[in-house]
Amino acid sequence: MSRKYFGTDGIRGRVGQFPITPEFCLRLGWAVGRVFAQRGRSQILIGKDTRISGYMLESVLESGLASAGVDVGLIGPMPTPAIAYLTRTLRADAGIVISASHNPYYDNGIKFFDGQGNKLPDEVELEIEKQLEAKMICVSSDQLGRATRLPDAAGRYIEFCKATVDRGFRLKGLRVVLDCGHGATYHVAPGVFEELGADTIVIGAEPNGMNINDGCGSTHPDALVDKVREYRADVGIAFDGDGDRVMMVDASGELVDGDELLYIIAAHRKLIGELQGGVVGTVMTNFGLERALDGMSIPFERAKVGDRYVLEMMKANGWMLGGESSGHIVCLDRTTTGDGVVAALQVLRAVVETGKSIEELRAGMHKAPQTMINVAVEDPKGVAASADLAAAVADKEKVLASRGRILVRPSGTEPVLRVMVEGDDAFEVKSICEELAYVAENCALGSSNGAAAS
């Protein structure tokens, strides 16, 4: 059975447009409450990032849950992985995160964790969708849920992050610039790195509800690059709006993406005998990572894009490490989901324990030239299935032959078609990617003109 509302990472869209409306989210809270209330008296936690719309959505979700007889724990602005951790350790039945991750402030979304801090199983999401079609009925007054605020959530999460490295681990002597993207890490990430002894400089930690991810954070690292150079820092660390992604900048101001961070962690774990199994990437993972891991006899497999699919493959293989080029890095031996702060600490652990810089640690991986263009289209899936685009891709695959690869896929979180080309020749890769993006744009125009004519 296909999902009507749930995507690869919950429910997401433009605020004020279906489904991110007060009316729908009230029903969503009720539907979730109905599903969990069937199992007995339940408690569900709600956290959010720093978007202004989070207040509105939090209140209607709380009302919906309470009307279904579910108790609610309000956490306030906290990173997505913190909600997963708190849901598990506070023995809640589920956790809800109000966030659109790396998207602009005018987008928002709702995503869920089960009581173990994992993404909800497919069958539970389908059960929620079924309840969304039912008539909304409020429980009797004596059965209504209660709402309470949890005051020490930030402190609990800071201690958890510190506990993911050895008790004697210190960052003393390291100058670190943190870019919190005016997002959910603004009040927790600085505490983690300061308490571990780093000389910490913080930017992007003054959220106003509308500046989340705006020219800052992991998707816009230019500000971080400038600060690393200005302060002659050893490393820069950038998080996205909800703190489940991380990018780094080395001392020379060069960006270190998720593939390279995954390589650094894997290589260090291999060195110290802690790597359990192999590494899971995605179809977007740079071929340079695959080659580097192969050179160390580390197994590597590719999952579909999305941390949900990376996690599924990791669990199926019994592996502890996986991630995406975007900076979603999952260390299953430390936590249950992608966590930007935890991943950054694992990279810095390699720095401290080897005595090598980020530049030296990344040197063993040579990235293949890769170009990706996001083509804004109303119907990404329709354009991706276009016969004209498929023919153009087939032609270019013949040109590349065994020297590269092409991937065209609709985004699971934005109305864009992602066109990625990878190969040995940077100029050829860029040229092919631009040509295919142009074909995709024309396919989208043709589709919209046809719809208008009909």
> Catalytic site residues?
101
Question: Do 164 and 340 meet the contact criterion of CB atoms below 8 Å apart?
Answer: no
User: Which segments within 161-291 are labelled E, that is strand?
Assistant: 175-179, 199-203, 235-239, 246-250, 255-256, 279-282
* Cα–Cα distance for residue pair 14/444, rounded to 1 Å: 21
The token pair that represents 295 in the structure block: 């050179």
* Cα–Cα distance for residue pair 283/281, rounded to 1 Å: 7
Percent helix, strand and coil across the chain, each rounded to 5? 40, 20, 35
Classify burial at 151, counting beta carbons within 10 Å of its beta carbon; exposed 0-12, middle 13-18, buried 19 or more: exposed
Question: Do 148 and 72 meet the contact criterion of CB atoms below 8 Å apart?
Answer: yes
* Cα–Cα distance for residue pair 126/149, rounded to 1 Å: 29
Other C-beta atoms lying within 10 Å of the C-beta of residue 18: 10
What are the beta bridge partners of residue 96?
46, 112
Question: Do 30 and 64 meet the contact criterion of CB atoms below 8 Å apart?
Answer: yes
* Residue 68, amino acid: A
* Cβ-based neighbours of 390, under 8 Å, separated by 6 or more: none
* Residue 442, amino acid: N
The token pair that represents 224 in the structure block: 């971080």
- 3-state DSSP of 405-438: EEEEEECCCCCEEEEEEEECCHHHHHHHHHHHHH
Sheet holding 404-410, edge to edge: 370-376, 416-423, 404-410
- In this structure, the strands spanning 235-239 and 246-250 are antiparallel
- Token pair 């170009």 is at which residue? 371
* Residue 7, amino acid: G
Going by C-alpha positions, the residue among 97, 130, 89, 131 that lies closest to residue 113 is 97
Give the rounded distance of the alpha carbon of 397 from its chain centre. Answer: 30
Q: What are phi and psi of 75, to 5 degrees?
A: -100, -30
Residue 164, sorted as left (phi over 0), alpha (psi -120 to 50) or beta, turns out to be alpha
* Cα–Cα distance for residue pair 49/34, rounded to 1 Å: 25
